[in-house]
Structure 1
Amino acid sequence: MNKKIIALAVAAAAFGTQASAVELYNNDGSTFSIGGHVSISAKGNSDVGSNTDLISNSPRINFNATQDLGNGFTADAKGEYSINYLNGGEESFTTRLGYIGVSHDTFGRAVGGTQWSPYYDVAGIADMPIAFANDFLYDNHGALGTGRAEGMVSYRNGIELGENMALNGGIAIQDSQTGFDTRGQVTLALDISDFMVGYAYNTGDRDVGLTSKEEAVSHVISAKYGSYGNGLYVAGVYSMNEYMHTTANYNIDKFSGPVLDDSNGIEFIAAYAFANSLNLSINYEAVESNDKAVVDGTVYSQMAFQAEYNITPSFVTFAGYQLDLGNDQNETENDMWNVGVRYYL
């Protein structure tokens, strides 16, 4: 297996997504750490109403452990929970992630539980900025397995094809959820130095309406260059879907609306991080429908201009302005802005 990939996987389990996570214990091959982040920002609409809301931008806390099992095997476990500190604590500590994994440099990595899916490994490469990022991945992502997949068992492995070149793949099966049957997915990604190209396939039946059941299928192709937050980063994602998307814009109305029998999702981001840690980005996203009975054309399209600046490695300020580029649902255009700070534990 690509040792860089396995090292990153185990490091993510031990320290979360930020190096500033606090390691509380490290002895005899066992580690335990606490990570996560809290944010606060002002978010408002430029075209629909004039209210400004104070929001928390997906705050979370995670508990991470690793254990050296010997013979090259490492076990890891993560529990990550949403925290609600702006609305009186309602629905605090709801599960975002919860899994156990076992990794080996040769035999790969197996994970069971609620986890970031192999599909997201390929499709989530443009889902980077804090304020505005990839919305269509989160349309019922837990049940469809396109983001944080619930009830999933996955396996990842890869082979090194030469210096700075590796072919990585993943497979996963996901148990049935309410309204969704058992699902499966497979991914392939070719890494060549700072470049990556990937493909993902996701399939499984879902309920459509009160009496119909249809196969929800997604094909994704993606490509990227660089590492987000380190110089130039460019990434693009294109998805071809049947019964995957609804008519909702996740950023505004979450999962409402009928399911589209044929749709495409597009996401593109270009970012540049300067040596002083200022990271400027522009991203574009659209969902196009070919379902003439529901929406024949654009479900939503938007473009955001964003900036992030690390005052310290753990304290980040961010700002973004998202332009609504229109739709064919006769919905009012709704430009949005978001300004705030994030503190990584």
Structure 2
Amino acid sequence: MKMKTLAVAVAALACGTQTFAAEIYNNDGTSMSIGGHVSINLNGSDEGETDVGTNSPRINLSGKKDIGNGVTVDAKGEWQLNYLNGGENSFTTRLGYIGATHEQFGRVVGGTQWSPYYDVAGVADLPIAYANDFLYENHNNLGSGRAEKMLSYRKSFEFGEGFGFNLGLGWQGKQTDKKTSLEKVDENCTVKCAVYEKTTKTVYDARGQIALSTQLAGFGLGYVYSGGDVATGTMTKDATSHIFAANYGEYGSGLYAAIVYGMNEYFYEGLEETVQLEGLLAYGFNNLTLSVNYESVEDDKTSKTLFSQSALQAEYAVTSSFYTYAGYQFDLGNDIKKAEDDSWTLGARYYF
């Protein structure tokens, strides 16, 4: 698999089920395009009210230029569209990076980007409605999804027809995150309690990740490691994650199957050891994709399930750029006395 093929595959994975971009300029080796999607959902659950919502709407602007000597430079900005809420915060940043790609030497990207970690762990994060929740737990700082302030490198190695080996490296510098919460002055108070504002500062030391993956005859295998110190107050721990993933087929076209298994230490706030599991089985035919997924996270130190859930979903391509979808997610319970909450969604998505 050549590097340009890998770059296309990674881009498609990062954007989910479909990727569309309308080219608005192309001249003398320079091109520019606009893309993204908007969606409207009707959502409901056992514990909540039925309401109208969205599903990760976004707009992006990207450009690339061939600068010679086999090097192509590209840049992308992507923003979440907060069009249902109004107010001043109409856009929030999702992606912003500059990259350079050489077919022989690989690809380097700097900025807020989909990480090499996600290249491996995201193989089950494909349905529109319900997918990998655990990947997005503090993903900006830990680099498990869209990683902020990351420098990454990817390289593909080809060994014969249909067999490729991919290497991904990621690095984030030191970052500081502050969270503000309201705390009771008297912890025993139950009515009209006096509160104060508490600020917790978390320092993320330089973090690194390495991702390895391969493809052969429709099957894919991958492994990724992420590690780096995280300090909260006087406590400093090495927050690590090991992810193993396997997948088969192409989502939306015939049979697709994927499984992701993770082992973590201090990767989730307040949890020493966790184990995560995600499975996806889907079948696409006649513009319809049916899928079932399962996801769970367990506190491995106490052997308690933090959450477990499974969803049945359907996506129908009315046209190549307009999809309707429906899903029902079953809450399969937990061991931390949190109320179970089945949920459902019915919606439509338009791709630019």
Taking a change above 3 Å as real, the CA distance of residues 342 and 11 of structure 1, as seen in their structure-2 partners, is same
Letter paired with 2:263: M
Structure possessing the higher radius of gyration over alpha carbons: 2
Matched, 1:229 2:271: no
Matches within 5 A, 1:16-55: 18=18, 20-46=20-46, 48-49=47-48, 51-55=49-53
The answer (yes or no) to whether the contact 2:16–2:128 under 8 Å persists in 1 is no
- Per the alignment, residue 84 of structure 2 pairs with 86
CA distance in 2, matches of 1:9, 1:147: 16
Q: Normalized against structure 1, the TM-score is what?
A: 0.90
Q: Percent identity over the alignment?
A: 56
CA distance in 1, matches of 2:30, 2:306: 49
1:163 to 146, 161, 164: 161
Matched, 1:2 2:2: yes
RMSD over aligned Cα atoms:
1.8
CA distance in 1, matches of 2:86, 2:156: 46
The answer (yes or no) to whether the contact 1:270–1:282 under 8 Å persists in 2 is yes
Matched, 1:280 2:278: no
Taking a change above 3 Å as real, the CA distance of residues 240 and 189 of structure 1, as seen in their structure-2 partners, is same
- Per the alignment, residue 251 of structure 1 pairs with none
- Per the alignment, residue 131 of structure 1 pairs with 129
**SS of residue paired to 1:162:** coil
- Per the alignment, residue 297 of structure 1 pairs with 304
**SS of residue paired to 1:328:** coil
- Per the alignment, residue 116 of structure 2 pairs with 118
- Per the alignment, residue 327 of structure 1 pairs with 334
Letter paired with 1:197: L
1:18 is displaced (CA, Å) by: 4.6
- Per the alignment, residue 253 of structure 1 pairs with none
The answer (yes or no) to whether the contact 1:2–1:168 under 8 Å persists in 2 is no
Taking a change above 3 Å as real, the CA distance of residues 335 and 11 of structure 1, as seen in their structure-2 partners, is closer
CA distance in 1, matches of 2:29, 2:339: 57
CA offsets per residue over residues 236-275 of structure 1, 9 Å max, x none?
A: 00000001124xxxxxxxxxxxx2100011000000000x
1:10 is displaced (CA, Å) by: 9.3
CA distance in 2, matches of 1:120, 1:235: 14
1:63 to 57, 61, 64: 61
- Per the alignment, residue 271 of structure 1 pairs with 282
- Per the alignment, residue 194 of structure 1 pairs with 218
CA distance in 2, matches of 1:2, 1:302: 38
Matched, 1:242 2:265: yes
Letter paired with 2:305: T
CA distance in 2, matches of 1:330, 1:116: 34
Taking a change above 3 Å as real, the CA distance of residues 10 and 169 of structure 1, as seen in their structure-2 partners, is closer
CA distance in 2, matches of 1:58, 1:172: 25
Letter paired with 1:196: G
**SS of residue paired to 1:188:** strand
- Per the alignment, residue 262 of structure 1 pairs with 273
1:298 is displaced (CA, Å) by: 0.1
**SS of residue paired to 1:115:** strand
The answer (yes or no) to whether the contact 1:6–1:103 under 8 Å persists in 2 is no
Taking a change above 3 Å as real, the CA distance of residues 123 and 160 of structure 1, as seen in their structure-2 partners, is same
The answer (yes or no) to whether the contact 2:36–2:57 under 8 Å persists in 1 is yes
1:103 is displaced (CA, Å) by: 0.5
CA offsets per residue over residues 161-185 of structure 1, 9 Å max, x none?
A: 1110011011111122222111000
CA distance in 1, matches of 2:333, 2:143: 28
